[in-house]
Structure 1
């Protein structure tokens, strides 16, 4: 099943603290052309145009002229999304919604959350939000209606045992877990800390995770940064400092004049909490920004191995300036260097031990869940690779849905207790993804390589 928490999604690689000064400086004479253009449009354009629209267009144009994908103008929902990502909190009801083959249902509830207090239960079917049906909506569309400003009220109608129930609750501040922990299946003395982003609570959650794993018997740690797009430098500095001796370099930040600030490990970041146990770090092509700062710091200053694939390669730093209540500018202000002075921008960090996901684990998803005999597409090719990984016999993944693929689909559907139609649907694709997700968890090459390394060190 596809589950989505009622949270805000993150974006790729921002860093440092939001401390840009947005105050207006002296306007250069060249900007008279901008004002002249504005006046011409306001006075002579064939239909009325709002000054706000023109101003936003000018700002967006200036940001686009930089040719920097990480320098952007954010307004309204985009601003709220970044703010939620930085804080790892949002206005919500503390529930997770998942899509089944026929409806949306509540998958989990946070203890003490508005949803739990209102009487919502796991398994409730989501019917309406504030009186408007969401039964034909996707998970993300329904979730966006439930989220909102902290302190505001939302009414969710659910179906339970054939009856409709209206549950009214006040949205509260919900904090996202950016760090999850587990013990390695093959060696319970190895703890795994997976960091999904670097947000305001991440360093505290990491520290709590290390303590919890120690109590469970962990003597060595794997820090999984795969798929982590980055985040706040402050939290990367704190976690980086925890794994280094005081005085060792975490990162160097260089502004446009060439002036370099060196950040070193110490109590100002880790408050005396250290992780002295053996470490290994997992990275991949989606590990970026703050993820690369942490990985580079531990690799070059402590010799921690990087296991996986070459990282994304984002060597710049952004700050955020709020320019109005509903808008802000995210601007690249510096570049960062590893402790040894390397700028990894557009190059990434090379792994010490290279491992990669199998082809079936690299499938990004399906654009359609409905495939049948005679179809030919990239989705069919992905389906064939996935079915092969699930143990079905398909001689060649050629992208053509022929009789052999049809038979494989029927066999898979029968094994999963689904109608053996020989055509894929939402239920078939979800069952396939679930099976392969479980297989990946049990056969993770990077985790296995990290455990093997740590057992020898």
Structure 2
């Protein structure tokens, strides 16, 4: 298996990337040599195992000690994308590749020892509840995640459909902890959406690079071209990555002249180039929308199109994950997922957060309005006049975005803010109390989600459309 994501995967073989890397001696005889080198240390491990089994105050299973030893070796690498997974964790990992799974719908990684949101999946409970890229999850349902590895931490967030995960969140730039309740649900991954916009500009949104994404992309692109598309906007905002061969398949259809679309570099500095299969360029301009949640395979797509197909990148700096992982499966169903190579852009740039350029800078930067960072409040008791809090500030920002002028956005609930709440309640046929209660909060959250999903209110998309009109 070859991975180009922060926690999502892919299956390859039979002439795929894994075979090409094997042919390039990435694994080759070095694996056998290292197995032989292990013999020099095996006595120490045997002694430690026997000592613990014979003397530890409690009974401990052989399997727990072996799993702990392997996990310790992998953790010693200090690599957030390398991990050991137990059989149950590995099984759940494979489950996440399917088009449907149950959870909150967010891609995560470990950053500075904390579970960090890379991107909520579009339309997921995580997005609807207000989770944002770079949010750090401190507690789940009152239980601290401190000291847990990524698999343990993710296990605390998972749960049956309909149950709640109450998350304590640290958000960059926000002083106080944020409390967000997410109701777990079945996540159905529609990975590709296509639409013709004004002036026959086509838009294809790719939410994740899953097993069927390339096939869906080819079908969607062909449909837009039949409608006389004059320009193409590819939207990978909030796309955390996915299956590496899938993104290469998509690049094959967009990058002309058999150009380089990706390079990989192993630990010995050996580079492998991957080229496209397209002969002639597309007869229309291409733009790519990116943001801080665009990671890994999304960045491969954006960089390949920019450097080898002349596409324009619009939005915000991307996440910055420039490594590739593979897995070693064991007979008991457990596995190791480990970083085996860097990936480089066609021009040889490394975009990784750790030692690279820390993401891809857009050609046309677009700053988001303040309300884009607002969290729909979920107050435990009604917000009312003279309250002063972060929940009030978020409520004011959202009311203002929806056209209900609260008069201020500093978190103080004054008379003008109360009037704005009354106007909203009247519009939604709610009891007009001027207090921000649970029913009002639910209606505001729903209205805000609809507002954000309306293309007219999507600032980066509108910038991309205006840019495309000039081409």
Q: TM-score range by the shorter chain?
A: 0.7 to 0.9
Q: What is aligned with 1:114? A: none
CA gap 1:193/1:399 in 2 versus in 1, 3 angstroms: same
What pairs with 1:87-126 in structure 2 (closer than 5 Å)?
Answer: 87-88=98-99
User: What is the Cα deviation at residue 414 of structure 1?
Assistant: 1.8
1:430-454 per-residue CA deviation (whole Å, 9 max, x = no partner) reads 3223323333322212111111222
Q: Decide which of 419, 422, 428 is 1:407's aligned counterpart.
A: 419
- Contact kept in structure 1, 2:90 and 2:335, CA below 8 Å: yes
Contact 2:408 2:417 in 1 (8 A): no
Q: Deviations over 1:7-35 (max 9, x none)?
A: xxx95465784859899933242354333
3-state SS of 2:242 partner: coil
Give, in angstroms, the shift of residue 335 of structure 1: 0.3
Q: Which runs of 5+ in 1 are unaligned?
A: 1-9, 100-132, 148-174
- Is contact 2:323-2:342 (8 Å) kept? yes
With over 3 angstroms needed to count, the CA separation of the structure-2 counterparts of 1:448 and 1:400, relative to structure 1, is: same
Does residue 1:308 correspond to 2:321, yes or no?
Answer: no
- Answer with 352-361 or 76-85: which moved more: 76-85
Q: Which moved more, 1:412-421 or 1:338-347?
A: 412-421
Q: Contact conserved, 2:265 with 2:344, CA < 8 A, in 1? A: yes
Q: Judging changes above 3 Å, is the alpha-carbon distance between structure 1 residues 391 and 30 closer, same or farther for their aligned structure 2 residues?
A: same
Q: Does 37-46 or 321-330 show the bigger shift?
A: 321-330
Query: In structure 2, what is the equivalent of residue 295 of structure 1?
Result: 302
User: Which residue, 458, 463, 467 being the options, matches 1:449?
Assistant: 463
- C-alpha contact (below 8 Å) 1:15/1:290 kept by paired residues: no
The residue number in structure 2 matching 1:105 is none
Q: CA deviation at 1:79?
A: 2.4
Question: Would you say 1:207 and 2:218 are equivalent positions?
Answer: yes
Are 2:344 and 1:337 equivalent residues in the alignment? yes
Match in the other structure for 1:328:
335
Indicate the residue corresponding to 2:97 in structure 1: 86
Pairs within 5 Å for 1:350-369: 350-363=361-374, 366=377, 368=379
Q: Deviations over 1:245-294 (max 9, x none)?
A: 14201000000000000000017xxxx89854321100000101000001
**Residue equivalent to 2:429:** 417
C-alpha displacement of 1:372: 1.6
C-alpha displacement at 1:189, in angstroms? 0.5
SS of residue matched to 1:86: coil
Deviation at 1:360, TM superposition (A): 1.0
Q: How many residues align?
A: 376
**2:268 is the counterpart of 1:257:** yes
Q: Bigger shift: 220-229 or 446-455?
A: 446-455
RMSD between superposed Cα atoms in Å = 3.3
Structure 1 counterpart of 2:443: 431
1:183 aligns with 2:196: yes
Q: Secondary structure at the match of 1:25?
A: helix
- CA offsets 1:168-188 (integer angstroms, 9 cap, x no match): xxxxxxx8421111222xx15
Mark the CA change 1:259 to 1:15 in structure 2 (over 3 Å): closer, same or farther.
farther
Deviation track 1:116-151 (CA, whole Å, cap 9, x = no partner) reads: xxxxxxxxxxxxxxxxx987768987647xx9xxxx
Relative CO higher for 1 or 2, CA cutoff 8 Å, sep ≥ 6?
Answer: 1
Cα distance between partner residues in 2 of 1:63 and 1:134: 32
What is the rounded CA distance, in whole Å, between the counterparts of 1:281 and 1:179 in structure 2? 14
Tell me which residue corresponds to 1:4: none
Shift of 1:301: 0.8
Does structure 1 residue 25 correspond to structure 2 residue 32? Answer: no
Q: 1:56 aligns to what?
A: 67
* 1:313 Cα offset (Å): 0.6
> Once the 2 structures are TM-superposed, how far is the Cα of residue 306 of structure 1 from its aligned partner?
0.2
After alignment, is 79-88 or 292-301 more displaced? 79-88
Superposed displacement of residue 352, structure 1? 0.5
- Work out whether residues 42 and 49 of structure 1, in 8 Å CA contact, stay in contact via their aligned partners in 2: yes
In the aligned structure 2, how far is the partner of 1:200 from the partner of 1:143? 22
After superposition, the C-alpha distances for 1:163-211 in whole angstroms (9 at most, x for unaligned) are xxxxxxxxxxxx8421111222xx1501111001111111101001112
Pick the aligned partner of 1:243 from 254, 273, 278. Answer: 254
User: Alpha carbons of 1:77 and 1:449: their partners in 2 closer, same or farther (altered >3 Å)?
Assistant: farther
* 1:327 to 1:232, Cα distance in 2 relative to 1, 3 A: same
Aligned to 1:192: 203
Is the 8 Å Cα contact of residues 262 and 300 (structure 2) preserved in structure 1? yes
Taking the aligned partners of 2:431 and 2:44, their CA distance within structure 1 comes to: 67
Per-residue Cα deviation, 1:393-442 (whole angstroms, up to 9, x for no partner): 33332234455434332321221112234343443233223323333322
Query: Relative to structure 2, which stretch is displaced further, 358-367 or 302-311?
Result: 358-367
Contact 1:13 1:289 in 2 (8 A): no
Which deviations, in whole Å up to 9, do the C-alpha atoms of 1:365-415 show, x marking residues without a partner?
546564423554433322221122122233332234455434332321221
